[in-house]
Amino acid sequence: MLPYTVNIRLSARTLTGALSAQNKGAVDWGWQGLIAYGCQSLVLVIDSNTAQTVQVLERHKTTVVKVKWAKENYHHNIGSPYSLRLASADATGKIIVWDVATGTVRCEIQEHTKPIQDMQWLWNQDASRDLLLAVHPPNYIVLWNADTGTKLWKKSYAENILSFSFDPFDPSHLTLLTSEGIVFISDFSPSKAPASSGKKVYISSPHSSPSHNKLVAATGAKKALDKVKILITNEKPSAESVTLNECLQLSYLPSKRNYMLLLYPREILILDLEVNQTVGVVAIERTGIPFLQVIPCFQRDALFCLHENGCITLRIRRSNINITGTPNEDPDPDPVQELIYDLRSQSDAIRVTKTVRPFSMVCCPVNENSAALIVSDGRVMIWELKSTVSGRNLRNSNSSASPLYSPVAFCGIPVGAFQNKLPDLSLDNMIGQGAVTGEEQLKNSFFQEVHLKFLLTGLLSGLPLPPFAIRMCPPLTTKNIKQYQPLLAVGTSNGSVLVYNLTSGLLHKELSIHSCEVKGIEWTSLTGFLSFATSTPNNLGLVRNELQLVDLPTGRSIAFRGERGNDEPAIEMIKVSHLKQYLAVVFKDKPLELWDVRTCTLLREMSKNFPTVTALEWSPTHNLKSLRKKQLAAREAMARQTVVSDTELSSVESSMISLLQEAESKSELSQNISAREHFVFTDTDGQVYHLTVEGNSVKDSARIPPDGSMGSITCIAWKGDTLVLGDVDGNLNFWDLKGRVSRGIPTHRSWVRKIRFAPGKGNQKVITMYNDGAEVWDTKEVQMVSSLRSGRNVNFRILDVDCCTSDKVILASDDGCIRVLETTMKSTCFRMDEQVLTEPVWCPYLLVPRASLALKAFLLHQPWNDKYTLDILHIDYPENDNIKNLLQKQLNSLSNDIKKLVLDPEFALLQRCLLVARLYGDESELHFWSVASHYLHSFSQEKALTAKTTDSLQEKLINPLDICYDILCENSYFQKFQLERIHLQEVKRSTYDHTRKCADQLLLLGQTDRAVQLLLETSADNPHYYCDSLKACLVTTVTSSGPSQSTIKLVATNMIANGKLAEGVQLLSLIDKAADACRYLQTYGEWNRAAWLAKVRLNSEECGDVLKRWVDHLCSPQVNQKSKAILVLLSLGCFTRVAEMLHSMRYFDRAALFVEVCLKYGTIEVNEDTNKLIHMVFADYARSLKTLGFKQGAILFASKAGAAGKDLLNELKQPKEEVTEE
């Protein structure tokens, strides 16, 4: 095959359109900052900041039904780098795990052939990062290793499983939503399938409860909610009351332990799993718009809700102020007696039609301050939450919701009023916890009230619904190289033409030109085109034809045929000549029309007896060059005639010539010059006619009799000396006009719909389109290059084809996509780093592992050479320039707000660690630094404030660690939270069982008087009546000391020995022996319960002992939850031990940063032992920076490492000296 020039480099890409109904749940927003969603059988990956498509993954044969990004909850280093892993599942049960950056498949998984109902990566990644749990219909859950594709275990359940949710506080808890109810699994483990079949409970739907009829009453939902008493029952409800398929969604609340959310179209129920009871309802009034989906937040107790009209609302839980007066009084009957979620902000709705409706919503997992809405027509709308500080006096007093206040801290540390901060960084930096009572807030003037609003910051729209007519603009030539843009015009069924720029894949212009379906487009220049549309035929078979000439830069369109076009036969095709001078319009049952494109005038309407045209093509030959020569000759002659013999008149001569030239150019502009052009067409018998057009004369020049082997000709293509004809039976005929030979090739593929030559000099490839696919042929060798068949190698039908460059073809297909492919027509995913993006994207995951880690170190250890800088080229980092430039691009793509923070000398190292964890979407780092920053700050404050104890307590209340960290919170705050919780459970009691659970909890919490009241409520006909009465007596008398204590202790230990653990623990905590109780609980494996009891009942020293034993248990190889253990140690202030553990786990970067921060805060005592540790940590970190090639950083830490880093330091400084000696 002869070489040909590639005229312009375009990357292969897919323009996508509307989604299919099965794509509804296939969307996920990863910690990596990218959103992935299914569109037909493709997976699209878009960047959430710039709303650009960065990758299209094509390999699924059927509709994609689920996509899930891998979690980033592990320590990243060279061995386990930042990488983009995504799992997608389709309707035939195939799961593909992708490496998104390169577009390659890591592994494929197939178990059954039904659509995957749900799948999720395991969030606890201490043991393995690659575990994926999937629901294979109807009733199997299977745990896969998503790196190798091996099945670890499989388990079946009695009912059909619809979805599942992991408990975010306990990796061994999993809840399934089945077609009949809910199944709680408490023995989930990666190593083996759950042994039991779980605890099954049934939901009696809220609609069958009397509450629903009452919601309409004017008293509002408040009264009605007290009626929603029980919701979860262990026995199957009666047939009338069960309408379970109404439950749209089940998920745990990540913001506090043991709460679950059930979503119904008209209400959200919040369940407290300790008592299986509804403790809060978000109900919609009768006129409100029903819910579609809800996402509970982690950082604050808030819910993102999606409604059926596409509106996203944010609801935040109202803080319970002064819920318990003095512990043993009757609670005040007035306070709010359930969790109330106030509507704080809402986005605009979309216009919902038959084909356009909201599909699903995802929320940014890192910052929880933005949500993306996926619409069925392929649009993605990104809404960001913005906070505005409002003056206190502006507050409207009538709103029932308490005001929201900005938090005291920014990035983990309380900051002053004048310090640089960026409140919109994340949800927890926007709003404080609201844990403070009203009066205190007024005293503290630094509380600022904030309002939240949604802002649309990104919009991506897809192609409209097929059918399409596509046409690529004229090819690139040496003459138009300066202003050339590769534009593709797409005509749609609603009459508009979309113009896409294929370098970026973005919509360049959308023009509404026609009132009916666009049938064809032809370009008249690089910036203008003709498009025609035909309406549906009337009973005589006549239509309205619209032919418009459009100028792209201005968007002006004119009716090309003037008044013509009503009630005439339909236009079949339009063809523009090579020089864009003439236009042939072919009708169905009406003779051909020839027009002059430049003047929009009709040159000739053929006579009635003119043959019916079946195919037509203009010849690439013309006499423009010879005409130009003639013109030049005439011009020279004119110039000669006007030459005056006197040479002094040369000035006159030059002006004369210039006048002439002006006249000449004007005449050229008015296009008096008309080159001669030719076209060929075939009639129904297959006879080929050759006609010449010059100016306004049309001459018939030759006829070629039909080729016997061909049927009725359907299309012709002509380039250079090659003519290709196609017929109704799928035969192709290649004519070589120079050699005067023709070759017929039967393709046996029925009707040839279209033939198009590829652009580029000497490039003789054509693409042909059939009813069932397309082929690329090389006309020089007359052989097929590639072929595509619907149903065989692809599942879509091809609607239109074109060539866009010499090595790329464009296919429009009925799945609503337009694909730009190589001439092999194999659909391939591209590498993300090769793609041309109009806006730079911040995504360190795209860099090679060494570079992404070096970039992280560069951001963390500012200042460099005593200078805060974002210019990586100025520091000693001997890496090749390509990588350096990529790093610089990444740094430049950061937002100005973030740059300002990074360059701020006031911005402490701790805050920097938290900020970088957010920028990198590193889950494990974010949790570590959130807890570390809180406790480092509070312990260093305690040291400073040992004299003034009152202040530190006050600050602890104002700025406690968020309750989403559960066991890691301060004891005082944790106790307060547990008391609020038990109070709520008590208000909601409905059965004896619940009352008993509440009494038990109250006893453990030490609220004895209240517990006695509950115990005395037991009615006389209850079998437990006697037992409860005695217990009440015991509780009231137990305070008297003496022998009763030892008796009770003996009884308790006996009870525990005989399997009554809970009862024994209760007795021990009655006599203030909670420390013993914790020890028993730990012996019997109830670690979480022991930690809970220690937090609520013991002083800090005893509590510390219990938690330290728990840490040892968490570190043991069979449990392997070291990351959790480190967090517990942080909350106890054992900072030296944390540094040792981080170092022993080889988390060198985290260890070094942590030690550095501890030294700043003075929380590690510096003595000989700790010095040794500190030096080892710094030296090892310096070595790891050296392997990254980050020399300056390595030198920095080697010099901090004292003796341990001496050799390393010499080694690092060595090569420099050698160079200078030379």
Residue 23 in tokens:
């794509």
Residue 277: beta bridge partners?
Answer: 272
Mean pLDDT value across the chain = 86
Query: Tokens 């018998």 appear where?
Result: 685
Strand order through the sheet with 731-736: 713-719, 722-727, 731-736, 741-746
pLDDT at 223: 40
Q: Are 850 and 79 in contact (CB under 8 A)?
A: no
pLDDT at 649: 47
pLDDT at 235: 65
Q: Could you report how far apart the first and last alpha carbons of the chain are, in Å?
A: 55
pLDDT at 923: 93
Residue 144 in tokens:
């896969």
pLDDT at 640: 76
Residue 764 in tokens:
């003789």
Is 1164's pLDDT higher than 80? yes
pLDDT at 446: 60
Contacts of 897 (CB under 8 A, 6+ apart): 422, 424
Residue 967 in tokens:
């066991």
Residue 1048 in tokens:
């009770």
How many CA atoms does the CB half-sphere of 1143 hold within 13 Å?
Answer: 21
Q: What is the DSSP letter of 847?
A: S
Residue 958 in tokens:
């104002």
1201 versus 456: which is more confidently predicted? 456
Question: How does residue 1217 score in pLDDT terms, banded at 50, 70 and 90?
Answer: very low
How many CA atoms does the CB half-sphere of 1206 hold within 13 Å?
Answer: 3
pLDDT at 954: 52
Amino acid, res. 82: Y
What number is the average pLDDT over the span 48-68?
93
H helix and E strand count, the chain: 27, 60
**CA angle in degrees (0–180, nearest 5) for 90-186-180:** 60
pLDDT at 231: 57
Is 221's pLDDT higher than 50? no
What proportion of the chain, given as a percentage, has pLDDT over 70?
88
Q: What is the DSSP letter of 695?
A: T
DSSP string, 933-992: HHHHHHHHHHHHTSS-HHHHHHHHHHSPPPGGGGGGS-HHHHHHHHHHHHHHHHHT--SH
Residue 99: beta bridge partners?
Answer: 85, 104
pLDDT at 556: 93
* CA pair distance 900, 892, nearest whole angstrom: 12
Report pLDDT digits (tens) over 1004-1043: 998 989 999 999 999 999 999 999 999 999 888 876 667 7
pLDDT at 891: 92
Collapsing DSSP states into helix, strand and coil, what is residue 581? coil
Strand order through the sheet with 496-501: 469-472, 487-491, 496-501, 506-512
Helix (H) or strand (E) holding 668: helix 650-669
644 versus 451: which is more confidently predicted? 451
pLDDT at 800: 95
Report pLDDT digits (tens) over 600-642: 999 999 999 999 999 999 999 888 888 888 888 877 877 777 5
Query: Closest by alpha carbon to 929, among 918, 944, 940, 913?
Result: 913
Query: Closest by alpha carbon to 571, among 528, 516, 511?
Result: 516
Is 879's pLDDT higher than 60? yes
Q: Are 403 and 413 in contact (CB under 8 A)?
A: no
Is 335's pLDDT higher than 70? no
What number is the average pLDDT over the span 160-188?
92
pLDDT at 210: 36
Query: Closest by alpha carbon to 472, among 6, 16, 801?
Result: 801
pLDDT at 233: 63
